Structure 1
Amino acid sequence: MTADSQVAAGQVIRSRSKSRRGKPPLWTLLDRAIVKRLFDIVFSFSVLILFSPVYLLLALLVALSSDGPVFYIQERVGKQGRHFGCIKFRTMVNHADRLLVEMLASSPHLQQEFEDNFKLKHDPRITWIGHFLRITSLDEFPQFWNVLMGDMSVVGPRPLVPEELHRYGDAIEQVLSIRPGITGLWQVSGRNDIPYPQRVRMDAYYVNHRRFWLDLWLIVKTVRVVLFPKNNGAY
């Protein structure tokens, strides 16, 4: 082998080595996906069983708070762009969507706030139990059913509404490559108080750096946010 051939062979070997280091093998990604899915199923089923009395109590309080269904199902965009019905405890009065249209039409200030965050910080449509559910994030308790059905994961990027997709720009394909999560970096880091571009970066970061230990850390942080909900950006 000539000196030039040896140099060329060395370059190929180094290039392949860097490629292997930069991108995990397909089997590794599949193993992670299988482990994550098994964890999601076991964890969600356990939570629904162990906390079923809390679940039933919250459902009863929602039913007593105002007329309307116990659950609110909103269209969200999941893995690979598939739309699904995201389940939450209802936190607003009945026909809240119709009232929102009327409120935004009569108030440019509210319309701008809603366009910025897809939420209103002081929303008059929220019921008395709805305030508690949102501050503690317990309104998302029923989403464990979404996890069991395969629409969501326990930990992942935010489940997006269709109107948000364009705001993710080039990152949207990456973010939609995995299931959205009940909790995640955004949910434990200030939620609605976080500027929108930072939300996008957080979701993209999680997709690129997701590991089992990171999921466990985020779950622990989520428990802390639920138990001590002061100034967590939820409303």
Structure 2
Amino acid sequence: MTNKKKMLLSIILLEGFVYGGLMYLFHIDFAKHYIVLYYIFQFIFSRYREDNHLIWEEMKMIIQANGMLFLVQVLFNDVLQQNIFDLATLTALIIVFDIILNRTMRVIFRKYVADRVLVIGIGKHANDFVKITRENRFAMMNVLACVDINHVEGFENYHQACRVEDVEVVDYKLLDEVIEKYRINSVMLAIPDSSKSQMQRIIMDLFDKVPIVKYMPRVNGMMTFDSTIADFDGKLVVTSSQTKTHVIGKIIKRIIDIIGGILGVLSLIPLSVIIKVISLKNGDHASIFFTQDRIGKDGKKIRIYKYRSMIPNAEAELERLMKENEDIRIEYLTNKKLVNDPRITKIGHFIRRTSIDEFPQFINVLMGNMSLVGPRPYLFREKEDMSIYYKSVIKCKPGITGMWQAHGRSDLSFKERLVLDDYYYRNWNVWLDLTIVYKTVKSVIFKKGAM
């Protein structure tokens, strides 16, 4: 039995032991029947599997499995005669325990069970993959080295800048040696822009040397997580499904927006008083609020609210700066922002760094022209630069936070932000929204890439 199987078996036994103990504490009858049902639903939702995935997916499966178990218990409650409140409390407790247990076990045993991964490629995709595995220890993947393919025969036109940080980079001619040195059991091909012949060349070189070979495919706007793969008499056929928000999904999203909007607007009362007092002490007597027209759903004009973080005549000042300084003009036209923006006020640096400037947009959320999560509310002057992404971005209400805020925040370029907003539209679901909210809060707390 492998170490990974031993870890999963330990998790299975511990979960059953705790579930049975909680039922005893709540004086719930039919304990044996419930434990059997508990395991049935865990397996139905693919809980106990050896493949590598992130904690967000595990949390989703835990909530789905235990939520379904709770519904079954409620449906048959006329027979079982249990207290609904006790069942709900038990379900909530076991969900929390399962999440904590699974993460803790994977962190503790990571050293012994994590796949020993070799990444082929040293470009942006490789660097992003390494970063994700380092920040998400739940995935049980330990990247030990990356392979430079720039000088490999047949890859002369596939140049990759070396961007991988804190990991050994080796030449492709040392492929066999590095596999043996690190006892590699998994390879990730992080070269999605390679041709079919280039990919086949590497796969053949890896043949019979490692048990697991994964690759990042070259994708386009048609590929989503709703896409399916089928064998069509020897031909690999991908069926793409353009994601559409169902009525139930829209209702759930709006309910979450209303609850979040109410809580957010209530927080504006003390926050506005504090910001106004500090602004007055700094000699700034102008309004602490700032309004601006942005592109809303279906391309309609919406007026968004923000705390003012710049001088009152910021737009006119930007025009002046771009006329007088060519570097500033190029930087703004490229990234739609300035890294060291001279227009930001003293308190503006603080409210931007903490993202407090976005809080008044909870008013927009309550009004219904924005959502808690969605694409960035783009400026009308940015419409032309949005190019092909404009059509997909305006399919959603803009959000206070979104994909790009949760994946690098202001560290990303304008094009990268558009790609992530397009991804959000094509792959939206309620769970994605909840994940983005959590990751945004985490980014703000640790001040990573804050604006």
Name the TM-score, length of structure 2 as normaliser: 0.45
Of residues 119, 124, 127, the one that matches 2:337 is 119
- Report the counterpart of residue 33 of structure 1 in structure 2: 250
Alignment pair present for 1:43 and 2:256: no
Q: Is the 8 A contact 1:188 1:232 kept in 2?
A: no
Identity of aligned residues (%): 36
Of 22, 42, 53, 2:241 maps to: 22
- Structure 2: distance between partners of 1:41 and 1:35: 10
Contact 2:443-2:450 within 8 A present in 1 as well: no
1:136 corresponds to which of 354, 359, 365: 354
Residues 200 and 68 (structure 1 numbering): CA distance in 2 closer, same or farther, change over 3 Å?
Answer: same
Residue 97 of structure 1: aligned partner: 315
Kept after mapping to 2: 8 A contact 1:67/1:93 = no
**Equivalent residue for 1:225?**
443
Give unmatched runs, 5+ long, in structure 1.
1-17
Q: Per the alignment, in what secondary structure is the counterpart of residue 252 of structure 2?
A: helix
Residue deviations 1:2-28, cap 9 Å, x none? xxxxxxxxxxxxxxxx98x9367x7x6
Alpha-carbon distance change, 32 to 123 in structure 1, aligned in 2, over 3 angstroms: same
Residue 322 of structure 2 is aligned to residue 108 of structure 1:
no
Residue 173 of structure 1 pairs with residue 391 of structure 2: yes
User: Counterpart of 1:22 in structure 2: which amino acid?
Assistant: S
Q: CA deviation at 1:64?
A: 4.3
Q: CA deviation at 1:233?
A: 4.6
Shift of 1:143: 0.4
Distance 1:195 1:96, change over 3 A: closer
Residue number in structure 1 paired with 2:270: 53
2:412 maps to a residue whose letter is I
Q: Give the corresponding residue for 1:12.
A: none
Match of 1:76 in 2: 294
User: What is the deviation of 1:63?
Assistant: 4.8
CA distance in 2, matches of 1:44, 1:56: 19
More helix by share: 1
Q: In structure 2, which of residues 404, 428, 448 is the aligned counterpart of residue 186 of structure 1?
A: 404
Helix, strand or coil for the counterpart of 2:266? Answer: helix
Deviates more, 1:130-139 or 1:190-199: 190-199
Return 58-67 or 165-174, whichever deviates more.
Answer: 58-67
Q: 5 Å matches for 1:194-209? A: 194-209=412-427
Q: Quote the Cα distance in structure 1 between the aligned partners of 2:298 and 2:318.
A: 30
Give the Cα–Cα distance (whole angstroms) in 1 for the partners of residues 382 and 268 of structure 2.
32
Runs of 4+ with deviation above 6 angstroms: none
Whether the aligned pair in 2 keeps the contact of 1:138 and 1:226 (CA below 8 Å) is: no
Computed over aligned residues only, the root mean square deviation of the Cα atoms, in angstroms, reads: 2.1
Indicate the residue corresponding to 2:304 in structure 1: 86
Between the two proteins, the alignment pairs up a number of residues equal to 213
Letter in 1 for 2:420: M
Decide which structure has the larger Cα Rg and report it.
2
SS state at 2:400 partner: strand
* Cα contact 1:71–1:87 (8 A) shared by 2: yes
Letter in 2 for 1:232: G
1:74 is paired with a residue of what secondary structure?
strand
* Corresponding residue SS for 1:84: strand
**Matched-pair contact (CA < 8 Å) for 2:308–2:348:** yes
Deviation at 1:154, TM superposition (A): 0.2
For structure 2, the residue ranges without an aligned partner over 5 or more in a row are: 1-237
Could you say which residue in structure 2 is the equivalent of 1:11? none
Cα deviation, residue 208, structure 1: 1.0
Do the aligned partners of residues 196 and 100 (structure 1) sit closer, same or farther apart at CA in structure 2, a change above 3 Å counting? closer
Structure 1 residues 50 and 125, CA, compared in 2 at 3 Å: closer, same or farther? Answer: closer
Q: Is the 8 A contact 1:157 1:184 kept in 2?
A: yes
